[in-house]
Chain A
Amino acid sequence: MSVTANELLAVMGARELRDDTTVFTGVGAPMMATVLAQRTHAPRLTMMVEGGVIGPMWKPGELPISTNEMRAAYRAQMLPAISDAFLLAQRGFFDVGFIGGAQIDRHGNLNTSAIGGYARPKVRLPGSGGANDIISLCRQVIILTVHEKRRFIERVDFVTSPGYLEGGDSRERAGLLFGGVSRVVTTLGLFGFHPESRRLQLLALHPGATLDQVRENTGFEVLVSPELTTTKPPTDEELSILRMLDPRRQFLG
């Protein structure tokens, strides 16, 4: 069977994680990616989930829909109160924050609050949840998202979760002394940020994706790394682990 968007995101996301690290992970593709990393190259990775879950071992076929339901806590090592979970991140215990799709701009700022004016929005979105905290408090942040023109826009209407704000050193000047968005993994490729301008920069294309496709699906000028590469396609092992975890394809699509 062909590879779905969420399978591609989970595989490419998992490859960005390292062993012996701590990851604060969101629901959907990020949690699939985190578990895949644990079952391949990162067995000593500790996962934290927003509802207040440390080190769960989720049951295949019973993956959590929310970050604070029983499935998310399955065989966890600790269930701290939610504020205490986030305060571990503020203290600096989390190497990676791993969050999913949203409206994103060229400096990695995310909007999950409102499209159109904030007070009387055209579309009211659910809100920050823990995304703002994860992006503000973890050492590195990886964002996984489907690559669509309506999501990749020049400037978000509302900064729910701050990437590099206006670029340059504006994030640090706002008082966010630590961390920052390090990678944006999309269905077309892998992005980093230009070290000075802090603008999104394409580092690699996924197999079969083209630069033209990236440009067509991005609402701003795409910076391309001079060392542009191509990622390796998902392996049978990676895909079979994901499909074993989610046999009913609730999350894989």
Chain B
Amino acid sequence: MTIAPREYDFEAARRRLEAKPKSAGPKLGSLEDAVARVRDGDHLALGGCLYSRTPLALVWALLRRRPTGLTFSRNLLCYEGEWGMVSGAVRKVVTSWMGIGLPWGLSRIQREFVEAGRVEFEEWSHLGLGLRYRAAAMGVPFLPSLTMLGSDLMEVGGSRTVQCPYTGRALHAVPALFPDVALIHVHKADRLGNCRIDGYPHMDADITRAAATVLVTAEEIVPEDEIRRHPDRTVIPGFLVDALAHVPYGSYPHECYGLYDAEPEHFSAYVDAIRERGAAAVAGYLERYVHAPGSHAEYLALFGEPRLAEAAGRARMLTT
């Protein structure tokens, strides 16, 4: 049993939210100011899914601070999970799947760390984890579901069943997951933190309602009037957001729907290096891409302008 009781303590989560200022004022600041709100030992829920709209700039800025004792939860965890393990920042992972994708095979870092018991790995079904965030977003300690029943996944986290008071049927009581911090990357936001997402919504809306603190990066900061002209497009209201930073290419080299495509060749080079040198390759990657650049713009410069422009061109082709 690995579910932490504080993850589903809906009363404590509610009181924590009630005690927090929920300002309609400006949230815009630096990437560094945003991640300074993360404390060692926090549970961080990451938005996006696999290599789509990953809050990579936030993870990048966070790891530069060399945090420890963190939990990462994410529905499908990509290589940022490997970064967390190898850097020593993460002690527990909550996910339904980890890897990059079929062409890149099993995650050697996941294998190394989980097989040796160096990291706690709590596995849910994809919907199971989604309902954990959804229950928290609804402010309740669990949600009844038919998923995961009968499987050995029920034993992993310590899931329980509940008898329906009306029909008598047994249902999976999926426990809520109230993260300390949500890391989210969006397409557009105004300076007050009202956010708009294009394309895949993933689980981001639920995560922003479930977490105690919400950190957002946006590809573009738009005038407040632009948000007010299309309020139906707002998926995260500003008063949910604690800190906002303007970071173009904030998911790169993962994709951001309509704006830039992912870089499978970069993933392949990363995986090839791990095949040759194991976890040391990830440590070397982090040194080169995370710690060495002086700013996120310098990080992007390691990829180069032509590559960024090509990724943008592919995205346009795939969404028009």
Contact = CB atoms under 8 A, between A and B. Distances in A.
B151 A123 contact: no
A118 to B, nearest CB: 7
A79 B117 contact: no
Secondary structure call for the A interface: loop
Given A79-B201, A82-B49, A159-B152, A127 B97 contact: yes
A68 B76 CA distance: 10
Interface residues on B, range: 35 or more
Contacts, number: 187
A147 interface: no
A218 B169 CA distance: 37
A69 B51 contact: yes
Contacts of A79: 199-201
B222 interface: no
A59 B318 CA distance: 9
Interface stretch (B55-63, B108-116, B175-183, B289-297): B108-116
A187 interface: no
A127 B98 contact: yes
Interface stretch (A171-179, A196-204, A221-229): A171-179
B68 interface: no
Interface string A48-72: 0011100000010010011011110
Interface residues on A, range: 35 or more
A122 interface: yes
A90 B146 contact: yes
Nearest to B198: A79
Given A65-B264, A86-B130, A136 B146 contact: yes
Given A51-B200, A133-B125, A175-B161, A120 B117 contact: yes
Interface of A: 27-28, 50-52, 59, 62, 65-66, 68-71, 73-74, 79-83, 86-87, 90, 113, 118-133, 136-137, 158-162, 165, 170-171, 174-178, 250
